[in-house]
Structure 1
Amino acid sequence: MASKEQKKQTAGKGVTDLIAGGVAGLFEALCCHPLDTVKVRMQLYRKSGQKPPGFLRTGINIVQKETFLSLYKGLGAVVIGIVPKMGIRFSSYEFYRSLLYAPDGSITTGGTFIAGVGAGITEAVLVVNPMEVVKIRLQAQHHSMADPLDVPKYRNAPHAAYTIIKEEGFKTLYRGVSLTAARQATNQGVNFTVYSKIRERLQEYHGTKDLPSWETSCIGLISGALGPLSNAPLDTIKTRLQKTTYASNESGLVRIVKIGNQLVKEEGMAALYKGITPRIMRVAPGQAVTFTVYEYMKKVLNGETHIPGLSNSKKFD
Structure 2
Amino acid sequence: KYCFFFLIDVVVSDCPCFQIVESGDTNHDGVLDFEEFTEYLRTNEKQLKLMFSSLDKNNDGEIDAAEIQLSLRSIGVNISVEDANRILLSMDKDGTRTIDWNEWRDYFLFNSLNNMEDVARYWKHSLILDIGEQLTVPDEFSEEEKKSGYVWRQLMAGAMAGSVSRTGTAPLDRLKVFRQVHGSTHFKGNVLSSFRYMVKEGGVQSLWRGNGINVLKIAPETAIKFTAYEQIKNVMRGGNETTNLRVHERFVAGSLAGAVAQTAIYPMEVLKTRLTLRKTGQYSGIADCAKQIIQREGVTAFYKGYIPNLLGIVPYAGIDLAVYETLKFAWLNRNRGLDPGVMVLVGCGAVSSTCGQLASYPLALIRTRMQAQATEKGAPKPSMLKLFHSIVTQEGVAGLYRGISPNLLKVIPAVSMSYVVYEYTRIVLGVDIEGRKRKKGKKKDG
TM-score bin, normalised by smaller chain: 0.7 to 0.9
Q: Quick one: distance in 1 between partners of 2:359 and 2:271?
A: 25
Q: Displacement, 1:212?
A: 3.7
Q: Displacement, 1:246?
A: 0.6
Q: Contact 1:24/1:290 (CA < 8 Å) preserved in 2?
A: yes
Of 242-251 and 68-77, deviating more is 242-251
Say if 2:138 is the partner of 1:67: no
Q: Displacement, 1:78?
A: 0.7
Aligned to 1:114: 252
Q: Deviations over 1:209-236 (max 9, x none)?
A: x754422331221122112101111111
What is the total number of aligned residue pairs between the two structures?
300
Aligned to 2:124: none
| Letter aligned with residue 158 of structure 1 | A
Q: Contact 1:120/1:185 (CA < 8 Å) preserved in 2?
A: no
Aligned to 1:7: 78
The within-5 A match list for 1:45-64 is 45-47=182-184, 52-64=188-200
Q: Displacement, 1:81?
A: 0.8
The within-5 A match list for 1:100-179 is 107-127=245-265, 129-143=266-280, 152-179=281-308
Aligned to 1:77: 213
Q: Displacement, 1:91?
A: 4.8
Partner SS, residue 155 of structure 1: coil
Say if 2:389 is the partner of 1:261: yes
Q: Contact 1:263/1:272 (CA < 8 Å) preserved in 2?
A: yes
- In 2 relative to 1, CA 164–142 (structure 1 residues): closer, same or farther, beyond 3 Å? same
| Letter aligned with residue 248 of structure 2 | G
Aligned to 1:230: 359
Q: Deviations over 1:166-195 (max 9, x none)?
A: 332222111111111222343334334444
Aligned to 1:31: 168
Aligned to 2:43: none
Q: Displacement, 1:271?
A: 0.8
- In 2 relative to 1, CA 202–23 (structure 1 residues): closer, same or farther, beyond 3 Å? farther
Q: Displacement, 1:43?
A: 1.2
Q: Deviations over 1:69-111 (max 9, x none)?
A: 2111001111111111233344544654566679986543322
Q: Displacement, 1:241?
A: 0.7
Q: Displacement, 1:46?
A: 4.8
Q: Contact 2:320/2:356 (CA < 8 Å) preserved in 1?
A: yes
| Letter aligned with residue 190 of structure 2 | G
Q: Quick one: distance in 1 between partners of 2:318 and 2:422?
A: 18
Aligned to 1:147: none
Q: Quick one: distance in 2 between partners of 1:313 and 1:75?
A: 36
Aligned to 2:309: 180
| Letter aligned with residue 75 of structure 1 | N
Q: Displacement, 1:198?
A: 4.3
Of 59-68 and 289-298, deviating more is 289-298
- In 2 relative to 1, CA 88–207 (structure 1 residues): closer, same or farther, beyond 3 Å? farther
Q: Quick one: distance in 2 between partners of 1:14 and 1:221?
A: 23
Q: Displacement, 1:244?
A: 1.0
Q: Contact 2:179/2:187 (CA < 8 Å) preserved in 1?
A: no
Q: Contact 2:165/2:418 (CA < 8 Å) preserved in 1?
A: yes
- In 2 relative to 1, CA 181–223 (structure 1 residues): closer, same or farther, beyond 3 Å? same
RMSD: 3.8
Q: Quick one: distance in 2 between partners of 1:281 and 1:303?
A: 31
Q: Deviations over 1:20-79 (max 9, x none)?
A: 33223212212222111000111122555x983333431232224422221110011111
| Letter aligned with residue 74 of structure 1 | G
Q: Quick one: distance in 1 between partners of 2:340 and 2:379?
A: 51
Unaligned residue ranges in structure 1 (runs of 5+): 144-151
Partner SS, residue 194 of structure 2: helix
Q: Contact 2:78/2:242 (CA < 8 Å) preserved in 1?
A: no
The within-5 A match list for 1:190-269 is 190-195=319-324, 198-199=327-328, 205=335, 212-247=341-376, 255-269=383-397
Give the structure with the higher percent helix.
1
Q: Contact 2:298/2:377 (CA < 8 Å) preserved in 1?
A: no
Q: Contact 2:423/2:433 (CA < 8 Å) preserved in 1?
A: no
Q: Quick one: distance in 2 between partners of 1:51 and 1:76?
A: 25
Aligned to 1:146: none
Q: TM-score, normalised by structure 1?
A: 0.77
Q: Quick one: distance in 2 between partners of 1:154 and 1:111?
A: 44
Of 179-188 and 287-296, deviating more is 287-296
> Which residue among 269, 277, 280 is the counterpart of 2:405?
277
- In 2 relative to 1, CA 88–201 (structure 1 residues): closer, same or farther, beyond 3 Å? farther
- In 2 relative to 1, CA 229–97 (structure 1 residues): closer, same or farther, beyond 3 Å? farther
